[in-house]
Structure 1
Amino acid sequence: METGRNKIKKTGMYLVLLFWTVVSLFPIYWMFTFSLKNNKEIFGENIIGLPKHWLWSNYEAAFTAGNMGSYFVNSIIVTGFTIALTTIFALMASYALTRLVWKGRKKVNNIFMLGLTVPIHAAILPVFIILRNLHMTNSYQALIIPYVAFALAMAIMISISFLQNIPAELEEAACIDGCSVYGIFFRIICPLMKPALSTIAIFTFLQAWNELMFAVIFISDSKYRTLSVGIQTLSGAYTTEWGPIGAALVIATFPTLIAYTFMSKKIQESLMAGAIKG
């Protein structure tokens, strides 16, 4: 009797999970098929089904007429530098705040954590004025520096919570063996912080890759536009052809899915480590 009930429960659970999987994957499927259709199929003839005619030319239009290739490269440059600088600064700051003893470190930590309370919209005007006075608008650093600044608070919080669970005895043993502070940091701490760094990287990637507000205000030259701004201009220039717009959305979305697919295991390890040790 119990076995029959367990089978029914498992079957129901699998059905619910299957339904949830279909619901979660449907937007990706719809966006991909949307990018390969013409306006007639998109707006009535074939909304959900596979394309009757697979219009790969939509991607060609997005890359050539829409200039998505250049915007894609700009997004990679901005996001790559943002992730690299954020992870380096966060790891160094968290190590200094948790392991090194110096006057005022608690106040400095509180200042960093204040960054979590500052809404990005409230800082647009002062950041724009600073960048304009420094003649840094219409450049990669006009986006990289603000992105790093706003991502740093969360990155430091993640790093500190993970670093506090690393036994200090490891560093003491390395110090006894003659390892310097820099040697301990690079040889002991950095390898053990890989799951936390992966978490920081994916969150920073999502923030920088999808950001629109700063990219619209600080960049007016098409040479430095990112994908999010490029898609906006594409929809304005090709209002009657939605296929290339769907292709541009696929180009902007799939890198995020690929990045999370390869880094999800590290993120889960980081979250589990924090839950168990914390």
Structure 2
Amino acid sequence: MVPSTAARLGTENAGSRSPVGKLGYLLLYVVLIVVAAFQLFPLVWLLLFSLKNNQEVFDLPPLSLPMNPRWENYEKVWSAGNISVYFLNSVWITIAATVLTIILGSLVTFAITRMKWKGSSLVLGLFMVAMMIPVHSTLIPLFSLFNRVGLTDHPLSLVLSYAAFNLPITMMILLGFYYSLPREVEEAAVMDGCSVHRVFFRIVLPMTGSVLATTAIINMIYNWNEFIFVNTFISSDTFKTLTVGVQNFIGQYTTDWGAIGATLMISILPILLMFLFLSDRIVEGIAAGSVKG
């Protein structure tokens, strides 16, 4: 069987690589392995931390194995610590806010980039200016607003806040990709009798799948890890999320550090697994939206 041209060229390039080039690649891989080890260090430390009791946390070195791994810390926080409720709240609030942000961001970006109307540049500028507003400066006005409309201690206050603050960055990622979409496809659809709504939902939205995956992951990471809005707007345990639920193990006189470590490990795993499985889509979406056609 005759090898392909690409395979033969790759083999020739690998064989003709100089010793200096091979040494450079070896050093590059060594540096990448060292960087990866530094990246994994906090996760390993947190895992070992979550399997210790208070005495072992303070007496043993950070990376030392616990004398008796306390896997019951995970069982305790999941059942007695009410973490199961906080985990489910984090899941559905994160998903709801992400879906709302992506739908609104896609609609606004489509209207600004694919439709001609007065004031589109002004609207885009207002959304971009919103990125410069500090989150903490809005806490008191938002709390006063939600209190007047009866949304304090209600998960809808979190969903609306997350969507509002994530819209600018979502639109900024979508803009480059929408500008690069060929208009000929939309014009052909209109000639065939498609309405604006059908053009958006049937043609444009499916074409933006890769960049939507990128924005979804970025939104989910922010929503999952958010603390200040939950701590300000939510007071009952029924609607608290994982980021606030970890405070249950901090007492006035004692703190259960092993339980805190187990809670943090549970909160990290979903985002970590999602990033590992969808990291290629993140790179693909950013690369696709970075070039304007």
Q: TM-score, normalised by structure 1?
A: 0.94
Amino acid across the alignment from 1:244: A
Within 5 Å, give how 1:158-169 maps onto structure 2: 158-169=173-184
Cα distance in 1, alignment partners of residues 103 and 251 from structure 2: 39
Match of 1:55 in 2: 70
| CA distance in structure 2 between the partners assigned to 1:101 and 1:276 by the alignment | 22
Q: Does 1:5 align with 2:26?
A: no
What's the secondary structure of 1:155's corresponding residue? Answer: helix
Q: Which runs of 4+ in 1 moved over 4 A?
A: none
Residue 138 of structure 2: aligned partner: 123
**1:209 equivalent among 224, 230, 243:** 224
Report what 2:201 is aligned to.
Answer: 186
Which residue of the other structure, out of 132, 143, 162, is the alignment partner of 1:147? 162
Residues of 2 paired with 1:128 and 1:165: CA distance?
Answer: 40
Answer whether contact 1:75 1:227 (CA < 8 A) is retained. Answer: yes
Partner residue of 1:134 out of 149, 152, 156: 149
Counterparts of 1:16 and 1:236 in 2: how far apart (Å)?
Answer: 43
Corresponding residue number in structure 1 for 2:39: 24
**What is the aligned partner in structure 2 of residue 65 from structure 1?**
80
* AA aligned opposite 2:114: R
Aligned amino acid, residue 190 of structure 2: C
Q: Name the counterpart of 1:157.
A: 172
Q: CA deviation at 1:3?
A: 2.2
TM-score by length of 2: 0.89
SS in 1 for 2:131: coil
Aligned partner of 1:197 among 198, 212, 220: 212
Larger radius of gyration: 2
| AA matched with 2:37 | V
Q: Distance in 2 between matches of 1:146 and 1:42?
A: 37
Which of 237, 242, 262 is the aligned partner of 2:257?
A: 242
* Residue from 101, 105, 113 that aligns with 2:120: 105
Count of residue correspondences: 278
Q: Helix, strand or coil: the match of 1:248?
A: helix
CA deviation map 1:34-74 (0-9, x unaligned)? 11122233223353033332211000111122211111111
Alpha-carbon contact 2:176-2:290 (below 8 Å) kept: no
1:14 aligned to which of 22, 26, 29: 29
**RMSD over aligned Cα atoms:** 1.8
CA contact (8 A) 2:249 2:255 kept: no
Amino acid corresponding to residue 254 of structure 1 in structure 2:
L
Answer yes or no: is 1:175 the counterpart of 2:210: no
Instruction: Say if 1:41 and 1:47, in contact at 8 Å, map to a contact too.
Output: no
Deviations 1:161-213 (Å, cap 9, x if unpaired)? 21111111111122223322122111211111112111211111122111111
1:237 Cα deviation after fit: 6.8
C-alpha distance in 1, partners of 2:166/2:60?
A: 44
Whether the aligned pair in 1 keeps the contact of 2:105 and 2:167 (CA below 8 Å) is yes
- Once the two structures are superposed, residues 98-148 of structure 1 have per-residue CA deviations (whole angstroms, 9 ceiling, x without a partner) of 111222222222222221111101111110000000011011112111111
SS, match of residue 170 in structure 1: helix
Stretch moving more, 36-45 or 188-197: 36-45
Give aligned-pair identity as a percent.
39
Deviating more after overlay: 171-180 vs 82-91: 171-180
DSSP-derived class of the 1:164 partner: helix
Q: 5+ residue gaps in structure 2? A: 1-15
Deviations 1:238-274 (A, max 9, x none): 9342111110001111111112122211110112223
* Matched AA of 1:179: C
Q: Secondary structure at the match of 2:118?
A: coil
SS at match of 1:137: coil
What SS class does the counterpart of residue 48 from structure 1 fall into?
A: coil
The one-letter code matched in structure 1 to 2:120 is R
Question: 1:241 & 1:110 partners in 2: Cα distance?
Answer: 48
2:92 maps to which residue?
77
Which residue of structure 2 lines up, in the alignment, with residue 268 of structure 1?
A: 283
How far apart, in 1, do the equivalents of 2:163 and 2:254 lie?
Answer: 34
- Going from structure 1 to structure 2, the CA distance change for 1:238 and 1:150 (only over 3 Å counts) comes to farther
Amino acid at match of 2:174: S
- Mapped to 1, the partners of 2:251 and 2:217 lie a distance apart of 30
